[in-house]
Structure formats: structure tokens, C-alpha cells
């Protein structure tokens, strides 16, 4: 039995963070019903932004945040549509939304209304900047709230260079797991109180939390951004190898390991140097760039595979600075089900699983459940609506089933365009 089997989740989400949270809940066994308008979640056609194709039967740019959900399409601006939503919420354990609070209030789906009408519901919401202050209703995405305002861009850049260009949703998927954890905690607490609770994750706050070490240490003079030539511990840095590839090393005990690393790299003339083998002394006397320059010279003598073998043979933590194409070839991710393959019409496609492992769950299973409103008729019947009522609601413009994508981009078209 899956950990959340029997839990009902109503998902009124768009884009990545909140949908990813519901995907995780579905992986853990919850029955997740995703409510979409007639245009569908914009992510259904956002795959182009990720440089990917999208069709009704192959849309991994949507599926990777929406696997294992069932889809119903409802016009919430109609009385009949809200009647359907009311039915869904009456027996729901969890309700999740990424809509702004003022928009939820117009629909009567804000927390203050929900907790009175459906006191059993654990309510989850992703917001940009928080629930207080002048910006509580401001629009925001992970790139602006998490990466930019949350400090990720300004802190992790190599000083003097432009901010990094991240993959889409860099903060979203981590925030999604945070929200899933909060909702499960609220669900557990409901077993003691009998009442649901509200769980909110601001994207900006999540970014700050991920940046905790930088935020805490900056007040003591540890300023960011940094150049790789001035990191406080030269043995926790990146170095370019002879073949042009980068190696990442992390040896936090500098004083202990300095001589060992210098000897390993063949830089024997620096072994035992009392000016350079003490981390505090190196920092206080401005010698960081000197040590890093010596290590640059050492690593430049070896290819990445040679450097990795030397360090790993000595049990020194190090790894290549992998790209996604490198990761596909990493046997460890396959041994530990970090990546799985899903069969689409064009062949098997790769996606990451979520990183929370349950011994009882084993390898999660995944299913792509089709186009917007693919399970509308099924869900309407499940919640007590007769076929005649379902037909009437469709006629009234309250619900739709099997809504096709506008202007799909096939895999063949996409690949042909890539080759031009």
C-alpha cells in the first residue's frame, strides 16, 4: 500500500512549483484531480520555452510536473462549474493552488472561505513574495522570486560575470517537494485536531532558505558574489583540467588535506609550506589566489578522467561538473532510480523522479493521463453526476472533455527545425 493511498487531492495549479507538489503527492499514492480551465494549464504549450516539442500524446514538458494525475476541465466562472468544484472539495483532503489570493477570493476558494465550508481540507498555496506587505499579491515566478530576489543569481555568479542561465524551474521542483512535505504534516496534524490547516510556500522565502549559509555568513564579512580565485577554502572549488573539462572538489578540512593534495597533483615543492597549509592564515593574509593558482597549475597537468581517478582512489570527494547529457550516462542515477524512462510515441524519454524515498514504496510508477479534461466524464460520474447532467453542464459551458492542444508541435517538426 502506498503511503498516501486513499488521500484525495484537488489540484488547481499552473506552471511548475505547485503542480510538481501534487505530482509528488500522486507518486506517494494520493488520488490527484487536476482542475483546468478550457485553455488548460499554460504549461501544456510551454514546452517550446524549454526547447521541447508538445502534442496531445507526447508532452513531457507538461507531464514531468503532472504525472499520475486525472484531469477535469471546468469553467469556474459559471454556477454549474462551481457546483462541480463544490462536489470535488466536499470529500477532498488536500486542496492546492498557485493562483494569487485575490483571484482565489473572487472564486470563493481563498483560505478564509475554504476553512469554513470544508474544515477538513489541508490547503496548500505557492506565492511569490509572502502573505504580508505591499507585494503580497504581486506576480512572480521562480526565476524572479526564488533565483533573483531570493539571492541565488547574485550570490552564485562567478564575480564579474553575468548571472547564470538556469534550467527552467530550478527553484520550482524543490519548492514543490517543500509544499508536499508541509501538506503531509498538516494532514497528520488533522488526525489530532480534526481540522485542516493552511500551508504556504513563498518562492522568495524558499530561495533565502536555500541560501542560508551565505546569508548568515555575509554579516561576518563573508561577502558574495565571489570569484573562484577567492573562495575561503581552495580545496572546495572548481578547477579546469588538461582536456578543458571542470572538476569539482570538496575537502572541507583544508589544514589536514593541503599537503596530501599537493603531493597527489605532483606539486611537491609546495608540500609542507607553512605559509600556505593553514586555512585561517591563507585567508587573513590574502593568499587565496596564490594557492588556487598553484592548484590550477596542478590540475592542468591531468585530464578530467585522470584527475577523478586519482582523487577517488584516495577517497577524496570530487565529481565532474556534469551537464544533462553527461547525467544520462551516469550509472549511479539508474542504479538508484533517480532517472526513469517513459514510453512515448517517439520512443523512451528520460525524466527525474522525486528524491524522497520510502522503503515501502519501491520504484514509483508513472502514467501520463492525456489531454486537458481527459477524465472529465469519469470524474463527473464518480462524484454522482448522471450522464444527462454531465451533458447539460457541457451544453452550459461549465465543463469540457478531451480538449485538444492549440497549435501542437510534433517531435518530427521540432527535430527538423533543430537541424535547419
Residue numbers annotated as active site: 172
Q: Which three cell numbers stand for residue 155?
A: 550570490
Question: Could you give phi then psi for residue 334, rounded to 5 degrees?
Answer: -80, -40
Q: Which three cell numbers stand for residue 75?
A: 469553467
Q: Which three cell numbers stand for residue 297?
A: 597549475
- Residues 408 and 45: their CA atoms lie apart, in Å, by 8
- Residues 296 and 312: their CA atoms lie apart, in Å, by 19
Cα separations in angstroms, 189 against 111, 112, 113, 192: 17, 19, 21, 5
Q: How far apart are the first and last CA of the chain?
A: 50
Alpha helices in 349-410 (DSSP H): 376-382, 387-395
Burial environment of residue 286 by CB neighbours within 10 A (0 to 12, 13 to 18, 19 or more): exposed
Helix (H, G, I), strand (E, B) or coil at 158: strand
Question: Could you give phi then psi for residue 30, rounded to 5 degrees?
Answer: -70, 150
The DSSP secondary structure of 243-288, one letter per residue, reads: TS-EEEEE-S-HHHHHHHHHHHTT-GGGTT-TTTS-HHHHHHTT-H
Q: Which three cell numbers stand for residue 283?
A: 585567508
User: Hunting for cell 570530487 — which residue is that?
Assistant: 318
Query: Which pairing describes strands 31-36 and 8-12: parallel, antiparallel, or unpaired?
Result: parallel
Cα separations in angstroms, 192 against 186, 354, 419: 10, 28, 59
Amino acid at each position: 500500500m502506498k503511503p498516501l493511498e486513499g488521500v484525495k487531492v484537488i489540484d488547481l495549479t499552473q506552471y511548475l512549483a505547485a503542480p510538481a507538489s501534487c505530482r509528488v503527492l500522486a507518486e506517494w499514492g494520493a488520488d490527484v484531480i487536476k482542475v483546468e480551465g478550457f485553455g488548460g494549464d499554460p504549461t501544456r504549450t510551454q514546452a517550446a520555452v524549454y526547447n521541447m516539442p508538445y502534442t496531445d500524446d507526447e508532452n513531457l514538458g507538461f507531464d514531468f510536473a503532472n504525472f499520475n494525475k486525472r484531469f477535469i476541465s471546468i469553467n469556474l466562472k459559471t454556477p454549474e462549474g462551481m457546483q462541480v468544484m463544490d462536489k470535488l472539495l466536499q470529500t477532498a483532503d488536500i486542496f492546492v493552488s498557485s493562483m494569487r489570493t485575490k483571484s482565489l477570493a473572487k472564486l470563493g476558494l481563498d483560505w478564509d472561505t475554504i476553512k469554513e465550508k470544508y474544515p477538513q481540507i489541508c490547503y496548500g498555496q505557492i506565492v511569490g513574495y509572502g502573505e504580508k506587505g505591499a507585494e503580497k499579491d504581486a506576480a512572480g515566478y521562480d526565476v524572479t522570486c526564488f533565483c533573483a530576489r531570493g539571492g541565488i543569481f547574485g550570490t552564485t555568479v562567478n564575480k564579474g560575470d553575468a548571472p547564470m542561465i538556469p534550467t527552467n524551474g530550478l527553484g520550482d521542483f524543490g519548492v514543490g517537494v517543500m509544499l508536499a512535505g508541509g501538506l503531509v504534516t498538516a494532514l497528520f496534524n488533522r488526525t489530532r485536531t480534526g481540522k485542516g490547516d493552511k500551508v504556504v510556500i513563498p518562492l522568495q522565502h524558499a530561495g533565502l532558505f536555500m541560501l542560508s549559509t551565505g546569508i548568515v555568513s555575509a554579516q561576518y564579512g563573508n561577502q558574495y558574489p565571489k570569484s573562484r580565485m577567492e573562495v575561503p577554502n581552495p580545496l572546495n572549488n572548481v578547477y579546469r583540467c588538461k582536456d578543458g573539462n571542470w572538476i569539482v572538489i570538496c575537502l572541507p578540512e583544508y589544514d589536514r588535506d593541503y599537503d596530501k593534495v599537493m603531493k597527489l597533483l605532483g606539486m611537491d615543492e609546495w608540500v609542507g609550506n607553512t605559509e600556505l597549509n593553514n586555512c585561517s592564515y591563507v585567508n587573513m593574509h590574502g593568499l587565496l589566489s596564490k594557492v588556487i593558482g598553484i592548484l590550477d597549475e596542478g590540475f592542468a597537468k591531468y585530464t578530467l578522467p585522470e584527475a577523478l581517478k586519482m582523487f577517488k582512489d584516495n577517497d577524496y570527494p570530487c565529481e565532474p561538473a556534469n551537464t544533462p547529457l553527461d547525467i544520462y550516462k551516469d550509472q549511479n542515477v539508474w542504479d538508484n532510480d533517480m532517472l526513469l524512462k517513459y514510453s512515448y510515441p517517439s520512443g523512451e524519454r528520460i525524466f527525474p523522479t522525486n528524491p524522497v524515498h520510502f522503503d515501502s514504496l519501491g520504484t514509483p510508477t508513472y502514467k501520463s493521463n492525456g489531454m486537458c479534461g481527459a477524465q472529465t466524464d469519469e470524474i463527473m460520474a464518480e462524484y454522482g453526476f448522471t450522464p444527462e447532467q454531465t451533458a447539460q453542464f457541457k451544453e452550459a459551458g461549465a465543463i469540457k472533455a478531451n480538449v485538444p492542444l492549440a497549435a501542437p508541435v510534433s517531435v518530427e517538426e521540432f527535430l527538423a527545425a533543430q537541424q535547419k
